[in-house]
Chains A and B, each alone.
Chain A
C-alpha cells in the first residue's frame, strides 16, 4: 500500500471515528434547554398572562 493511501486511510478512519462520537457530543444541550424552557413556559403558562392560550398552535396570519 502506497504511503499516501495509507495516510488517507488513517485520516478517513480518524474522521469517521470522530463522526461517530460527535453525534452525542454535539447534542446542542444549550439549544435544547432553551427549547425546553419555551415549551414549558407554554404548557405551564408561565408567561403571557395567567389565562394563557398563546396563539402558538395555529399558524394563521402569515404573509399575504
Chain B
C-alpha cells in the first residue's frame, strides 16, 4: 500500500512533465537547424534543379503522403525514365529521413507522422501553378 502511492506520484510527476514539455513546444519553434536536416535540405535543393522541370511538365507530382510520385512518365524521354524513377526514389528517401529527423531533433520521434502530414499539406499548398498535386486521391493541376 505504501509503494503504490509512490509509484503513482512519480507517474503523476511524469505526466505533468510531459504536458509541460509539450506545451513549451506548442509555443516555440521546431528545431530544424541540425546538421542532419541541413544535409538533407542541401541534397534536396540540389535535386530540385532536376525535379522542377519534371513538376512543370506534369511528369512528377506531389503526392498526398508527403512524397513525390511518377504521375505521367509519357512526357519524359524514354531513355531518361529510369533515371527519373531513381531520382524520385532518392528524393523520397531524403524526405522520409527529413520527417524522421525533424521529429527526432525535437525529441519526439513519434511526431514523424504528424510532421509528414504537415509537410505533405505544405508541399501541396505551395506548389507552383501548373504543377500537379494529389488531392483526395486524384491528381489535380494547380
Residues of A within 8 A of B (CB): 1, 5, 8-9, 11-13, 15-16, 18-19, 22-40, 42-46, 52, 56-59
Number of A-B contacts (CB under 8 A): 119
Q: Considering the complex, which residues of chain B in the window 110-136 have a beta carbon less than 8 Å from any beta carbon of chain A?
A: 110-111, 114-115, 118-119, 121-123, 126
Residues of B within 8 A of A (CB): 1, 4-5, 8-9, 11-12, 14-16, 18-19, 22-23, 25-30, 32, 35, 37-39, 41-42, 44-45, 48, 52, 98, 102, 108, 110-111, 114-115, 118-119, 121-123, 126
Contacts of B41 in A (CB 8 A): 39, 42-43, 56-57
> Which one of B22, B25, B39 has the greatest number of beta carbons of chain A within 10 Å?
B22
Q: Known interface pairs A11-B12, A16-B12, A38-B32. Does A23 touch B22 (Cβ–Cβ under 8 Å)?
A: yes
Q: Is the interface of A mostly helix, strand, loop or mixed?
A: helix
Contacts of B15 in A (CB 8 A): 12, 15-16, 18-19
